[in-house]
Amino acid sequence: MIPSVQPLVDFSVISVEWQDADQNLITIFTDGVEAYAQIMIQNSGSFDARADIEISLTRGNNRLEDVAPNYYPNVLFLAGQSQLLTQDGNLPLFEFDASKYSGFTGQWTLEVNVKEVRPEHSADDGLWDPEEMHFIDTSHTLVVAEPPDLSINSFSASPSAPSFGDTVTFTITVLNSGDSPASGVVHLVRSGTVIDSAPFSVAGDFADTDVTFEWIVGPNIDGETPFEAELVSITPAEMEGASTEDNSASTTLDIKGKVTQPGGSSEDGGGLGNLTPFLLVFAVLLVGLGGIFFYFQRTKGDQPADEEDVFGEPAPAAPPVASAPPPPPAAPAAPQPAPQAAPVAPAAAAAVTIQCPGCQTQLKIADTRRPLTVACPGCQTHLKLES
């Protein structure tokens, strides 16, 4: 019978993943980054055991100090299984602060020290010496790079003098002068309002990338109109103290737009809306000038033939004007009844009835003096009675 061999405990780090506070995966490490480490440790032995774990991040003589927690006591590892390193459910947090270290950028090594390994069950006591049973794993590394240094290298628009309804293409070139790749968002801004946004990513070491927007010229936009491009939400963050003035740029379009007036007309020259006031003024002037013309024509017609005009020259003779037709003759007077004989009176008081030869009005003359002149009440003709 061949005896079975059971290996003692053996510990190794089988995986490490880094994530931010929102559980997003981190692959780029720069100054200011805070990263949580998911360290998976495996016990490939045949015995359940407990151990104390100490972790650190080193580069040469530098050891990253800001690790919390960096010590995990009395961690249980079951035989043949792996265990995520946590304390009270919390992952270890690493803070990268370049101000505390010289030679901060470059490759760093994650060092996981498993020590004081002791059997979980008393039946296994004495199989190994806990003080001598320890393991150090340095198989996982990361690179701390110089932070990105982003800028807008160019900002252009085509066409630069669009009209109403045209489509304008904006092109923003993002340049990264830093070592580490970066990502972020570009905002397109008009009059202080963000009108469009787009994500971008760019490699390091002076790489660049283009971001484009398309925008249609709408109504009520006319003349010189400024636009601005802005870089925001940059990850990882740019180095502390880096200038952010080059994270924005501006350009101006000369828009020949369509501006709607309160009455519904527009200033694009496509209708009579603009001409209406001028046409009204012209019509008023035309009527006024016509009235003046006819007034002077009539005045000149009333001038005598020898009258001079305003320049001292004889005024031209007015064309003959047809005279108005004579009024129709008055209707003949209705026949009057024969006058009745006056009552007998003294001769001095006798009355006389006469007929006006002009208007045929009969006049009764009571005055018997002769000669006598009377006025006809109908036509004012003076009549003289001799006898």
Work out the pLDDT band at 346, boundaries 50, 70, 90.
very low
Work out the pLDDT band at 311, boundaries 50, 70, 90.
very low
Per-residue pLDDT at 345:
45
**123 by DSSP, 3-state: which?**
helix
- 189 burial level (CB within 10 Å; 0-12, 13-18, 19+): middle
Fold (topology level) of 11-144: Immunoglobulin-like (2.60.40)
Does the structure show a pLDDT above 70 at 58? Answer: yes
In DSSP notation, 33-67 reads -EEEEEEEEEE-SSS-EEEEEEEEEEETTEE---E
- Residue partners of 349: CB distance under 8 A and separation at least 6: 366, 368
Please write the tens of the pLDDT for every residue from 257-295.
887 665 555 554 444 445 555 666 677 777 777 777 666
Does the structure show a pLDDT above 90 at 72? Answer: yes
Using alpha carbons, select from 224, 228, 156 the residue that is nearest to residue 188: 228
Work out the pLDDT band at 365, boundaries 50, 70, 90.
confident
Range list of β-strands (E), 217-357: 223-235, 248-255, 352-355
Please write the tens of the pLDDT for every residue from 120-146.
999 989 999 999 999 999 999 999 988
346: which 2 tokens?
């003294």
Instruction: For the chain, give every domain's residue range.
Output: 11-144, 150-257, 352-385
Per-residue pLDDT at 4:
66
Fold (topology level) of 150-257: Immunoglobulin-like (2.60.40)
Does the structure show a pLDDT above 80 at 300? Answer: no
Using alpha carbons, select from 21, 58, 199 the residue that is nearest to residue 138: 58
Model's pTM, two decimal places? 0.54
Instruction: Answer with the residue of higher pLDDT: 105 or 38.
Output: 38
Q: Minimum mean pLDDT among 77-81, 98-102, 268-272: which range?
A: 268-272
Give the C-alpha separation, 67 to 93, whole Å: 6
Q: What is the mean pLDDT of residues 96-120?
A: 93
Element (H, E) at 276: helix 276-302
* Average pLDDT of the chain, as a whole number: 83
Q: What is the mean pLDDT of residues 187-203?
A: 97
Does the structure show a pLDDT above 70 at 118? Answer: yes
Question: Which letter, b or e, does each residue of 247-258 get, where b requires 16 or more Cβ atoms within 10 Å of its Cβ?
Answer: bbbebebebebb
Domains 11-144 and 150-257 share a fold: yes
